[in-house]
Structure 1
């Protein structure tokens, strides 16, 4: 897969970086992370310019996310239901709704890099649920900055070991996601137990 990514970037350069980043934010299954790593490696070799690689990926990712958000805003909840039926992604859309309802803009931020598989669906959900456009844009920009910088930077630093880096990043992402979910559950449980304990305390007489 990494050889394929190298060939694609070699042939199309910044166009494939931008194109893959854009469509991946619209739930098209393309290996954008590998493309970013390969482009970073080409920048390290001097075949591409690092800041141009980063900027093209960053702008395209923002454009893709905001396109998904706008489509969700136009379609509303009925559109979400139609998408769920057409794609079979009921669980991902339901998880996206839960993230936005619980976390709002922070949920958008996390979905761009920490919970990346949810990203395209969170974009649609955020638009359909009426999240503020500026709030979405602010958190989305912060998250995509982390995502693009991480992958392009890793490719630039470890270009000769793309296969190993891709494997490590994938495992690391899974581990971090699992830890984040566990921490969220632990926090929710702690808050619930604290409220129950506070509610069971007898009122103090003044």
Structure 2
């Protein structure tokens, strides 16, 4: 599938980058990281303009996140009912709801780049939970800037090894997500230990 999307970027350029960035933020299974890498690689080759690739990817990702947030705000109950019949998606949505409940803004920020597979569900959960729209927008904008910059810069810098890089980044993304989740769990345990220590004192 990755090679197919490389071909689509070669043929349609910014349109594919925009659609990929937008719909991936709505939980549509699109290999957006590979598309971002391809955008950077084609910019390095002179087939695309770097600032246009960055701008289109960034604005499309923000638009997708805002759409997900508003869908959660307007149809949170409907969404919960809808995903209940899909165990994998229901599990992701439950994790996102728990992340918003526990971590709030940190969950919004890190889900855009460090734990990207959870990102669309955090958007839905934040909207359904009534999270402040301006705070969501600010943290989302900061996180997406990191995400877009990292992937396009990697594609631009390592254009000659694009397929190997896409495979490496896919594995690396899973590793980063695992590290972030482990760190969050450790922080929760430390906080719990402090609360118990304070009570016993």
Displacement after TM superposition at 1:162 (Å): 1.2
1:91-112 CA deviation, whole Å, 9 max, x = no partner?
1010000111111121111111
Assess, with a 3 A threshold, how the Cα gap between structure 1 residues 47 and 164 changes in structure 2: closer, same or farther. Answer: same
Which residue is 1:40 aligned to?
A: 40
Q: TM-score by structure 1 length?
A: 0.92
For 1:179, what is the secondary structure of its paired residue? helix
Q: Which residue pairs with 2:133 in the alignment? A: 133
Runs of 4+ residues over 6 Å off in structure 1: none
Say whether the 8 Å CA contact 1:80–1:128 is kept in structure 2.
Answer: no
| 1:198 has 2:198 as partner | yes
CA drift at 1:2: 4.1
Query: How far 1:182 sits from its partner (Å)?
Result: 1.8
Task: Tell me the equivalent position of 1:6.
Answer: 6
Call closer, same or farther: CA 1:49–1:169 in 2, change over 3 Å. Answer: same
Q: Which consecutive unaligned segments of at least 5 residues does structure 2 have?
A: none
Partner in structure 2 of residue 92 of structure 1: 92
Q: Give the unaligned 5+ runs of structure 1.
A: 202-206
Please report how far the alpha carbon of residue 86 of structure 1 lies from its aligned counterpart in structure 2 after TM superposition.
Answer: 4.6
Query: In the TM superposition, what are the counterparts of 1:170-181 in structure 2 within 5 Å?
Result: 170-181=170-181
With normalisation by structure 2, the TM-score equals 0.94
Deviation larger for 180-189 or 126-135? 180-189
Aligned to 2:183: 183
CA RMSD in angstroms comes to: 1.4
